[in-house]
Amino acid sequence: MLPEFDINAELRLRQLTQDDFPALVEYLNDEDIFRNTRSIPHPYTLKDAQDFWEKLRQRSQEAGGAPHHWVIEHREHGFTGTISVFLREGIDSHSDEIGYVMGRPWRGRGYATAAVKALTAMQFETRPNLIRLSAWVYSYNPASKRVLEKAGYVVEGFCRALLLKNGQPVDAWLLARLRND
Ligand SMILES: CC(C)(COP(=O)(O)OP(=O)(O)OC[C@H]1O[C@@H](n2cnc3c(N)ncnc32)[C@H](O)[C@@H]1OP(=O)(O)O)[C@@H](O)C(=O)NCCC(=O)NCCS
């Protein structure tokens, strides 16, 4: 069971459940989300939500465990987006990655920034061995780079042709925040 907590008077981070499938389909079926993330498909269907859930279930039984996913829940609007921590193992276990997506109607309201700030603080507070949180941001996604910078992450580098999207090489910024930053 993941910790759940209030970010502020409006927003809360809570565990993702199967009841969120309709919201996942409604909001993740978005070409911008596909372009800016590594593995979210487009179009995004109920079957994708179900496959994602099954993969989480399988990974939770493996040694490293499954990634941790929270819903960014608004007091009135309900599900607005998700935020995740991708756990590493062994000699990399001090260094995890975060990722997040906001539903289109809820962007530009500061919700992603509030969620990144709160989750970053909570991770460092509750996980004594964690030293570093990082994120890759594709070169054409200034909004996400801004979110991380507002949350105290610093640019550490720029990686050319980090991955292929639709067969095209994509460059990306690497940003990170250390426990002592
Ligand atoms: C990236 C994303 C999560 C941002 O969510 P959000 O809730 O709109 O973020 P916030 O409102 O907290 O902050 C956005 C910031 O980016 C800025 N911004 C938005 N578009 C921008 C642009 N084209 N150029 C520069 N800055 C931009 C906003 O002005 C704001 O900064 P400000 O507060 O200084 O004005 C959202 O756009 C999204 O889900 N995109 C698709 C998925 C994605 O990219 N996920 C991240 C993968 S690394």
Structural domains for the chain? 5-131 (3.40.630.30)
The pLDDT tens digits for 72-109 are 999 999 999 999 999 988 899 999 999 999 999 999 99
Calculate the alpha carbon distances from 114 to 83, 120, 126, 136, 180 in Å.
Answer: 11, 10, 18, 19, 20
CA dist 133 and 119 (Å) reads: 10
pLDDT at 49 over 80: yes
Q: Indicate whether residue 94 lines ligand 1 (CB < 6 A).
A: no
Following DSSP, what letter does each residue of 20-39 receive, concatenated? GHHHHHHHH--HHHHHHSSS
CA dist 155 and 177 (Å) reads: 9
Q: Indicate whether residue 123 lines ligand 1 (CB < 6 A).
A: no
Q: List beta partners, residue 39.
A: none
pTM across the whole model: 0.97
Q: What is the mean pLDDT of residues 111-116?
A: 98
Contact 132, 95 (CB under 8 A): yes
Contact 82, 27 (CB under 8 A): no
pLDDT at 61 over 90: no
3-state secondary structure of 121: helix
Q: Indicate whether residue 80 lines ligand 1 (CB < 6 A).
A: no
**pLDDT at site 15:** 95
**pLDDT at site 153:** 98
